[in-house]
Amino acid sequence: MPLRAINSGLSPALPTAPPASGGVTARLTEEAALIPLRSERLRLDMLCEEGALLAQGAPVARMRDHPEVALVAPMAARLARVRLGPGRQLIELLFFHEPEAGRHVFEVAAARHGDAAAIRVLMQQAGLWRLLRSRPFGRMPAVAESPAAIFVMAADTRPHAPDPVAMLEGRGESFSRGLAALGRLTGGPVFLCQPRGPALAGPGAVEGRLRILRCGNRHPQGLAGFRIHHEHPATPEAPVWELHAEDVADLGALLETGSLPGLRSVSVTGEALTETRLLRCQPGANLRGLCQGAVVPGWHQVLSGSALDGHEATWLGLRDRQVTVQDSHRGSPRSHWFSNALRRAARPLPVIPTAALEQAFGTALPAMALIRALSSGDDESFTRLGGLSLLEEDLALADYVTGATPRLSALLRAALDRIAAEEGL
């Protein structure tokens, strides 16, 4: 990688509280929930009733459109409430913690021997399939989809993100086992994106198809989008998958022991906290539970995700490993009728090309050309510039830097949706 590329990017200095003493602590919240992703339509067939006692990892529901894929209980729990919308669309499955319910054991004998079909079925049954993200479009991959490449993200440069390398400490065995299993799902290369330093996996981990990519410390170098854009662009015919390194280690542990570890490393940061926490909690944890006892009094917002790309939420998002607690500024203290009228009537202000914008794209592509293609709805130029490899989170830094309205990530999502509709997907 050229020197300019490895030094590119920005380190936005976002405020956070001083770290708590005691390092990483495990903390299961009393409540957890399974929720759909934003703008995801998830139709379910329930496998158990409200009030059922479920072991951690036990199947709770199946996807109506892909019956092979199960949703599993995030912890040993009682299924407290099932909220489905019209067409049995998932709104929320709420669980209460019941430690005595134990852990669900999966049948892993075939998958352990490296049978690709068995690994696929196991991942679909154990709820790991939903964690995979397929580009372009950023959806869960189709049940039989075979990717052209897989990117394993052991780097995360979002501000205050937990360190993926620290998550893998002591789990090297599980990680290489998971990596080997993942490699069975593709005939193409497996890319491991990691910070500079010793390699996290040997070259023989995936039958010689493993390629290690080093990422610098600045955002957005640790995002999958720009790495995929540079190394193996995603197209509708040749999708590229992405999975977090901790989930890969979970897959390895599942193959080893037959049950899911069920803990995820999460950092709880932000200016409205008295201490910054590093926790291990269940998927779908209650965010208030995670920041309990550390919040400064007053109005605040709890985001699932980083301050750049997070969304206000009650439950930890499917792929999020960060919780951000911000001061919220409710209502603007000073507003004048004239400036309000002007803001309503005016077209949004354009983005001015600066060095900051160039760095927000990691100098990976012609930023202004992409922004112009996005804001004029020119999907052909957008595709030509390699936009299909990107997702909302990749443009979150550019949104932050330029304060663009409408947000570039929203424009990107609209363009991706249009292209997906045109492809008939």
Partner 1 sequence: MIRGLWDRETVALLLLICLMPLALVWLWFGGPEAWTRLALALVISGAWHLVFMLARAQPPSFAGAITALAVAMLAPEELGLARLILGISFGSVMAELVFGGWGRNVINPATATLAFLGFGFPAAPWPELVLPLAWAAIPAAVLGVTLGLMPGRVIGGALLAALVSWGVGQGTWPAGLAPVLPMAFIVLVLLVCDPVTSASTLPGRWLYGLLYGGLVVLFATGWQGAAPAQIAVSAALFASLAAPMLDEAAISLWRARRRKHLG
> Which one of 86, 403, 421, 424 is in contact with partner 1 (CB under 8 A)?
403
> Which one of 34, 351, 408, 411 is in contact with partner 1 (CB under 8 A)?
351
Stretch that binds partner 1, among 36-44, 113-121, 196-204, 383-391 (CB under 8 A): 383-391
Q: Which two tokens stand for residue 27?
A: 């903390």
In DSSP terms, which residues pair with 352 in a beta bridge? none
Question: Helix 116-125 crosses helix 245-257 at what angle (to 10 degrees)?
Answer: 100
Cβ at position 328, least distance to partner 1 in Å: 10
The reply on whether position 400 binds partner 1 by CB under 8 A is yes
Number of C-beta neighbours around residue 27 at 10 A:
17
The reply on whether position 227 binds partner 1 by CB under 8 A is no
> Which one of 47, 366, 383, 420 is in contact with partner 1 (CB under 8 A)?
366
> Which one of 166, 384, 406, 423 is in contact with partner 1 (CB under 8 A)?
384
The reply on whether position 8 binds partner 1 by CB under 8 A is no
Stretch that binds partner 1, among 43-51, 236-244, 259-267, 357-365 (CB under 8 A): 357-365
The reply on whether position 412 binds partner 1 by CB under 8 A is no
Cβ at position 133, least distance to partner 1 in Å: 21
Cβ at position 366, least distance to partner 1 in Å: 5
Contact residues for 283 (Cβ-Cβ < 8 A; gap 6+): 32, 74, 262, 264, 316, 318
DSSP state of 333: S
- Taking the chain, what is the end-to-end CA distance rounded to the nearest angstrom? 35
Choose between 247 and 309: whose C-beta lies nearer to partner 1.
Answer: 309
The reply on whether position 383 binds partner 1 by CB under 8 A is no
Residue type, 82: V
Residues 118-141 as b or e (16 or more Cβ within 10 Å = b):
bbbbbbbbbbbbbbbbbbbbbbbb
E strand or H helix at 34, and its extent?
strand 31-34
Residues between 232 and 251 with contacts to partner 1, criterion CB under 8 A? 232-233
**Exposed (0-12), middle (13-18) or buried (19+): which is 412, by Cβ within 10 Å?**
buried
Choose between 216 and 310: whose C-beta lies nearer to partner 1.
Answer: 310
Distance of alpha carbon 33 from alpha carbon 81, whole angstroms: 9
> Phi/psi class of residue 362: alpha, beta or left (left: φ > 0; alpha: ψ in -120 to 50)?
left
> Which one of 353, 376, 418, 425 is in contact with partner 1 (CB under 8 A)?
353
Q: Which two tokens stand for residue 399?
A: 């949104």
Cβ at position 143, least distance to partner 1 in Å: 28
The reply on whether position 144 binds partner 1 by CB under 8 A is no
Is residue 362 classed as helix, strand or coil in its secondary structure? coil
Distance of alpha carbon 243 from alpha carbon 235, whole angstroms: 18
Choose between 355 and 421: whose C-beta lies nearer to partner 1.
Answer: 355
Cβ at position 392, least distance to partner 1 in Å: 14
Q: Which two tokens stand for residue 264?
A: 């995820």
> Which one of 3, 144, 352, 421 is in contact with partner 1 (CB under 8 A)?
352
Distance of alpha carbon 183 from alpha carbon 214, whole angstroms: 19
Number of residues that bind partner 1 (CB under 8 A): 36
Cβ at position 339, least distance to partner 1 in Å: 9
Distance of CA 43 to the CA centre of its chain: 21
Closest by CA to 17, choosing from 275, 290, 280, is: 275
Cβ at position 399, least distance to partner 1 in Å: 8
Is residue 230 classed as helix, strand or coil in its secondary structure? helix
Choose between 167 and 367: whose C-beta lies nearer to partner 1.
Answer: 367
Stretch that binds partner 1, among 86-94, 180-188, 394-402, 412-420 (CB under 8 A): 394-402
Per CB under 8 A, residues contacting partner 1 are 12, 14, 232-233, 307-308, 326, 341-342, 345-347, 349-358, 363, 365-369, 384-386, 400-404
